[in-house]
Amino acid sequence: MEKISIGIIGLGTVGQGVLEIFSKHKKAIIDRVGKEVEIDAVCDTDKKKVPKYLLNAYSANWQEIVENPKIDLVVELIGGWEPARTIILSALSSKKNVVTANKAVLARYWDEVFRSVRKHGNLIYFEAAVGGGIPVVQSLNEGLAANKITKISGILNGTTNFILTKMQKEDIGFSTALDYARKYGFAEANPSFDIKGIDTANKLSILTSIAAECWVKTDEINIEGIDGISRQDINISKNEFNYTIKLIGKSIFDNDKIDITVRPTLISESHPFRNVDGEYNAILLHGDVAEDLMFYGKGAGRGPAASAVVSDIIFLSRHIANKTAGLSPYINYNPNKKINIMKSADKEGCYYLRFSVEDRPGVLASIANILAKNRVSIAAVYQNVLPGQSGKGASVVIITHRANEGKLFKSLEVIDRQKYVKGKSAVYPIEN
């Protein structure tokens, strides 16, 4: 083998970043691989995206790259489910190794992809799929290999973190903040995958599946997005209780069960996520021996994602050069292992509750009674209707002590049926 031959499919933002790093750091890349590495084929539906020096390498059809026997390594950077899934699976069955940044395909087709990897004895690397430039997949999978992972929690989506940071720092509503995110290039034309929490859930599915060594599907995750967060909750939680709101994906491992959720969560002042703002991502891993570890960096964007893709290319190319690709699996996956998702009745936590109620005597007593009956203990209360303002209704905010989530939800159902309640109650978990 004289050189490692690479085919890149998809020349969008990340693909362009990859080409740029290859031009800029070609010598260093070859040094690190220990052999010549060359981009010998590129494919994109838009030929205009191909730089001049690569026009000779252009294919209009990805099949030409995947079927080209000279290509050693296929880099899939088009995103979305199809044809990305078919490209990845075709490349694997053509005995090619694969680098991808595609969290959607991995989260939805984990079983299919890793069965194929095992069957064909090759490798797929996907560092850029989670946390942009942060080497969290490698750290979880290799650097913490000695550990039983007991907790994964993360700010995994730059778009939502940008929006929430804007809402909080500038006291603006969700849709204004979303407009900002679009303006600064931090939100896609259709941002619903991000703001509904699906992108975070896909990334959490990937990290959790690595740690659990079995497939934990996005569908199994209890997901809540950020589009329902009100300025009122942001302001009260910040001004009265010194919390900030972040969209947190979280898996807590408890033997054969996982508590896995994606939810807007209140973050206390001393929490390591407190200052993770804007487009930054952070991931907290807890291993039984290494204890708490946090990784922080830019979660998206051309440079950071391309950094992860090229680092993957380097180490996979080195495996190809040494003929060691696939000798050991990168990801441990047991198709027969099944892990159960924990139910609310088995969970405990502290919560922020807000009730929109009529401002009349007995309301607080009634809420407190219903909570007490369900053994939900109150840590703090905030209600602020000044004399003369009554009649407009009131917001009652309660911070709970540690409580059983099932019982908490049961009491909220009861409270929301009371006549004095004017709207659905808001509930956010708290991370201290």
Does 102 contact its own copies by CB under 8 A? no
Does 336 contact its own copies by CB under 8 A? no
Does 298 contact its own copies by CB under 8 A? yes
**Least distance to its own copies, CB of residue 62, Å:** 24
Does 283 contact its own copies by CB under 8 A? no
What is the CB neighbour count within 10 angstroms for residue 228?
12
* Residue 88 and residue 112 in contact, taking contact as beta carbons nearer than 8 Å: no
DSSP letter string, 281-328: EEEEEEETTTEEEEEEEE-SSHHHHHHHHHHHHHHHHHHHHTT-TTTS
**Least distance to its own copies, CB of residue 383, Å:** 32
Does 30 contact its own copies by CB under 8 A? no
**Least distance to its own copies, CB of residue 25, Å:** 7
Nearer to its own copies, 281 or 395 (CB): 281
Quickly list H helices, 155-214.
158-170, 174-183, 192-195, 198-212
Does 255 contact its own copies by CB under 8 A? no
Does 371 contact its own copies by CB under 8 A? no
Element (H, E) at 155: strand 149-155
Nearer to its own copies, 20 or 240 (CB): 20
Of 1-9, 241-249, 268-276, 338-346, the window that binds its own copies (rule: CB under 8 A) is 268-276
Of 311-319, 347-355, 394-402, 412-420, the window that binds its own copies (rule: CB under 8 A) is 311-319
Catalytic residue among 96, 103, 166, 203: 203
**Least distance to its own copies, CB of residue 134, Å:** 6
Coil, strand, or helix at residue 3? strand
Nearer to its own copies, 146 or 189 (CB): 146
* Residue 357 and residue 421 in contact, taking contact as beta carbons nearer than 8 Å: yes
d(CA 40, CA 285): 38
Which member of 314, 316, 394, 415 binds its own copies (CB under 8 A)? 314
Coil, strand, or helix at residue 423? coil
Q: Any residues with CB less than 8 A from the CB of 131 and at least 6 apart, and which?
A: 137, 154, 156, 203, 281, 283, 295, 297, 299
Does 339 contact its own copies by CB under 8 A? no
Which member of 1, 34, 45, 338 binds its own copies (CB under 8 A)? 34
Element (H, E) at 49: none
Does 145 contact its own copies by CB under 8 A? yes
**Least distance to its own copies, CB of residue 367, Å:** 35
In 3D space, the residue among 303, 79, 307 whose CA is nearest the CA of residue 190 turns out to be: 79
Residue corresponding to tokens 């690190």: 32
d(CA 214, CA 198): 20
Active site residue 183: no
Structure tokens given for 363: 């309301």
Which residues 1-20 are close enough to bind its own copies by CB under 8 A? 17
**Least distance to its own copies, CB of residue 243, Å:** 16
Q: 72: which DSSP letter?
A: -
Nearer to its own copies, 14 or 376 (CB): 14
* Residue 366 and residue 241 in contact, taking contact as beta carbons nearer than 8 Å: no
List active site positions. Answer: 203
Q: Which residues bind its own copies (CB under 8 A)?
A: 17, 21, 24-25, 28-29, 31-32, 34, 127, 132-135, 138-139, 142-148, 270, 272, 274-275, 287-298, 303-304, 306-311, 313-315, 318, 321-322, 324, 327-328, 332
